[in-house]
Amino acid sequence: MGAEVVPVRRRTPRLILALVGVAAACWGGWWWLHRGTESTDDAFVEGRVVTIATRVSGQVTRVAVSDNQLVAANEVLVELDPEPFRAKLAVARADASAARANAENARATLALVERTAPAALAQAQGTLTAARSTEKSAQAAVEQARADIAAAEAHRQLAEIELARTRTLVANAAVPKAELDERQSAFDASAASVAEARARLAVAESAVPTSHGGIEVAQGRVEGARTTTEQIASARAAVALAEARVEQAEAAQRLAELDLTYTQVRAPHAGIVSRRIVEVGQMTSPDRPLLALVELDDLWIVANFKEDQLAELRAGQRADIRFDTFGREDFTGHVASIAGATGARFALIPPDNATGNFVKVTQRVPVLIRLDSAAGVSLRPGMSADVTVHTGS
């Protein structure tokens, strides 16, 4: 029995050495096969998933697509009731037409003011000149009447003296009585001349205030006509205001036209309809999503490598991708870019290692991988993948 135990004890070290050798060979083979590469199974297909919503509020009258339907770019997805928007467009067009008419009226008024204002100023100045001439004529007539009164008074006084002398001579029978009658007639005529001159003076003096009032009226017209510059400036300001209102009305019309086109919700790009929640008759608004559109023409892979795997990773390095959907089939791609921070930094509530007990956790950094060729490959965002990057390339 003792002779049987001794050989087993001798074989144990050899068995251990053999196992160690096999493990070393396996590890060496694995290292040889994986040298110059970095791999991760934390990788997923990513793409653009666009949430579609209306740009105006309204009632849905037609839903043209269903879930998982493939649509082309600019294809109609949903239609809203267009009648309220057509009415708004009609109102906007009417407002624009009225604004343009007001602008034409303002331009015509400006042209009229520019033509008539200088002529009105010249006419007012001519009226003022004529009024001043009339006033001078009235003053001259007053002076002439006063001079005529003075002359008539002198003749009357002379006739009165001669009449008194003639009376004395007739009383003394020195001259005939006929001469007394002649002197009496001359005195009466001179007295009448004095009365006539005083009447002309009264008329001339009454004409002076009238002529002065005419001057004041003419001066007022001149002052009003001298506001030509202000009138033209006011008319030009009215034109500018009318043109601004035209631009405002035309902008409102363009907005109404856009709102009418927005009643048809179109696909921004080709893709597959997903998560359709819109139904006919539903009231919708820009803050309510209608459906999601998944773009399949531009897909990429996001591989989350550990931070200790990034030392040799560079943009442009070759990558082998294996999707769970296609089993063991390998696809070729390349590293497009490396994220600027770890995934944890983009979390809703980033971890703060300065508080509480610190537990070191190896972080992962997203690396964007682009396929070199995906012809005939049907991928969907969210699919899992295994990525191996050849850092030695």
CATH of the domain at 208: 1.10.287
Domain-embedded: residue 174: yes
Does residue 107 sit in the same domain as residue 61?
no
Span of 75-84, 108-117, 202-211, 245-254 with lowest mean pLDDT: 202-211
Which residue in 101, 98, 56 sits closest to 263, CA to CA?
Answer: 56
pLDDT (average), residues 209-231:
57
21, part of any domain: no
What pLDDT, in 10s, does the model give residues 33-50?
Answer: 556 788 899 999 999 999
Average pLDDT of the chain is 80
55 with 100, same domain: the answer is no
Q: Predicted confidence band at 73 (pLDDT cuts at 50, 70, 90)?
A: very high
- Tokens of residue 294, six digits: 């998944």
Provide the percentage of residues in the chain whose pLDDT is more than 90. Answer: 40
Say whether pLDDT at 2 is over 50: no
Domain boundary among 202, 217, 247: 247
239 with 293, same domain: the answer is: no
The answer to whether residues 198 and 318 belong to one domain is no
Same domain, 66 and 105: no
Give the per-residue pLDDT at 311: 87
The answer on 272 and 133 residing in a single domain is no
pLDDT at 233: 80
Instruction: Clarify whether residues 243 and 214 are in a common domain.
Output: yes
Q: In whole angstroms, what is the distance from residue 65 CA to residue 291 CA?
A: 10
Provide mean pLDDT across the span 189-211: 67
Residue 319: is its pLDDT beyond 60?
A: yes
The yes-or-no verdict on residue 314 having pLDDT over 80 is yes
Q: Could you tell me what percentage of the chain is helix, strand and coil, using 3-state DSSP and rounding each to the nearest 5?
A: 55, 20, 25
Query: For the whole model, what pTM was predicted?
Result: 0.61
pLDDT of residue 347: 82
Same domain, 101 and 230: yes
Grade residue 70 by pLDDT with cuts at 50, 70 and 90. very high
Over range 258-268, report the average pLDDT. 95
Which CATH number characterizes residue 292's domain? 2.40.50.100
Predicted pLDDT of residue 3: 45
Residues 240 and 282 in one domain: no
Say if residue 120 is in the same domain as residue 56. no
Sheet with 264-266, side-by-side order of all strands = 264-266, 76-80, 58-63, 283-284
The string of pLDDT tens digits covering residues 298-313 is 899 999 999 988 888 9
State which residues form the domain around 224: 88-247
96 lies in some domain: yes
State residue 4's pLDDT score.
46
**Residue 52: pLDDT band with limits 50, 70, 90:** very high
- As given in the structure block, the two tokens for residue 205 are 């003096």
- Residues 126-134 have a mean pLDDT of 63
User: Given pLDDT bands bounded at 50, 70 and 90, which one contains residue 348?
Assistant: confident
Burial environment of residue 253 by CB neighbours within 10 A (0 to 12, 13 to 18, 19 or more) = buried
